[in-house]
Amino acid sequence: MKEYGDFVTEEDRMMIAALREFVRDEILPVRQQLDVDEDRQQVHRVLDGLASLGLHKRGLPEVLGGLRSSAVSLTVGYEEVARGDCGIAMTMSVPAWVFGPAMRSHNERVLGDLCRPYCGDTFVEACQAMTEPEGGCNIESAEYRGKAIHTRARLEGDQWVINGSKQFPSGASVADVYLVTCTTDPDLAEEGIALIYVPADTPGLSFSKPENKMGMRFTDVNASIYLDDVRVPKEYRASMQTGKDYESFRNFLSWGRISSAAFAVGVAQAVLDIAMEFTGRRYYGGKQVRQHSLQAAMLADMMIGVESARFYYLTVAGMFDNRKTYGPPYSDEQIARATGAKVYACEVALKNCNMAMELTGSYGYMKDYHIEKYLRDCKIMQLWEGGAQLGRIDVARGRYSMVPYV
């Protein structure tokens, strides 16, 4: 646990130890089974196992049985789970993401009606529905200010009526609660953004078949969502305060990206561990493979990438925990920092997967060695939440406001 330095507390170290034991005993032995677990029974055994450790309650309201958690503590937990399976880490992280806007706005109706089961003894899936088919990742750009949202919500009496569609959200078709990003009027830009909670059994809510992806097929289920005159109580909007939902929407960007950075570092560390073990027990020229200069240099590059990516995301998470100095996570500056951590960590993870495959030769693309699964999974992480190129735009524009260049 020394790899986390002074960023973590003694309580965090206890959590890390418990998660490492769980990953070793409960995830790694079934990692390949999770990839073909169409009925998701094994997936839910793993998720419920993590719930037995209390991981699912982190970031949820304490009054309902949730656990307060710092950004650093949340993200190191995600990294540890992602060492076993990043799809599991992603699915486990979603409920805190979904109910964050209601918590920020002190929406007691939403928390009382919808959040309580998420603080129980078993894991319940949630879905944050943001991306749309019309504009793809444009909706996730910090610069669009809500102008790319096509899903409409109108207030009729004491109900919101929602029409539109969403594409690719995690948890679609399997979640119990959906947080849908809408606009009340595109001309209002950010002031028109509305985040509205929709229970899974609401009439007018339907789904496509789950997407057949290259990785994370059953650990992180994606599908299209269709909303046809979906009606929910007006209190199910996260906040009726002007601009508050826009702030929460931007929080999605920063929290999603810093979490993704932690997932990616978990993958980068996992394949480094595999390569270290493999090159330590195989020999040529009378010595271990990893004692030869070429292979040692490759392993060194992998180590450097893991440590630099880890300290990048931990530094940003520490800034999230010090809002008095660095501002809220929804600020341009913090979005830029979180995005930079994600862009860098995903590139490190992909590079490490490639190098691990080279170091293990033909074994690298065999399923028993798991590197090929990590490679398929981490490429998806690089692309979600806007991808690497949109991410770079958000980094640049966010930094423009931070430094008075002449």
Give the residue range(s) of CATH 2.40.110.10 domains in the chain.
126-236
How big is the chain, counted in residues?
A: 406
CATH architecture assigned to 126-236: Beta Barrel (2.40)
pLDDT at 139: 63
Q: Are the C-beta atoms of 197 and 105 separated by less than 8 Å?
A: no
pLDDT at 140: 62
Q: Are the C-beta atoms of 328 and 247 separated by less than 8 Å?
A: yes
Amino acid at 1: M
What is the rounded distance in angstroms from the CA atom of residue 176 to the CA atom of residue 154? 23
Give the residue range(s) of CATH 1.20.140.10 domains in the chain.
244-400
pLDDT at 406: 43
What is the rounded distance in angstroms from the CA atom of residue 246 to the CA atom of residue 189? 9
What is the rounded distance in angstroms from the CA atom of residue 390 to the CA atom of residue 398? 12
What is the rounded distance in angstroms from the CA atom of residue 259 to the CA atom of residue 342? 8
What is the rounded distance in angstroms from the CA atom of residue 93 to the CA atom of residue 77? 10
Q: Are the C-beta atoms of 253 and 67 separated by less than 8 Å?
A: no
pLDDT tens sequence for the chain (406 residues): 688 888 999 999 999 999 999 999 999 999 999 989 999 999 999 999 999 999 999 999 999 999 999 999 999 999 999 999 999 999 999 999 999 999 999 999 999 999 999 999 999 999 999 988 876 666 666 566 666 789 999 999 999 999 999 999 999 999 999 999 999 998 888 899 999 999 999 999 999 999 999 999 999 999 999 999 999 999 999 999 988 999 999 998 899 999 999 999 999 999 999 999 999 998 898 899 899 999 999 999 999 999 999 999 999 999 999 999 999 999 989 999 999 999 999 999 999 999 999 999 998 999 888 999 999 999 999 998 878 888 888 888 887 766 554 4
pLDDT at 360: 95
Give the residue range(s) of CATH 1.10.540.10 domains in the chain.
2-119
Residue with tokens 């046809």: 228
Helix (H) or strand (E) holding 249: helix 244-281
> Quick one: fold of 244-400?
Butyryl-CoA Dehydrogenase, subunit A; domain 3 (1.20.140)
What is the rounded distance in angstroms from the CA atom of residue 378 to the CA atom of residue 217? 13
Amino acid at 7: F
pLDDT at 2: 80
**C-alpha dihedral, 236 to 240 to 241 to 244, nearest 10°:** 40
> Parallel, antiparallel, or unpaired: how do β-strands 287-288 and 283-284 relate?
antiparallel
Closest CA to 320 of 266, 265, 264, 258: 258
Alpha-carbon Rg for the chain in angstroms: 21
> Quick one: fold of 2-119?
Butyryl-Coa Dehydrogenase, subunit A; domain 1 (1.10.540)
What is the rounded distance in angstroms from the CA atom of residue 215 to the CA atom of residue 213? 5
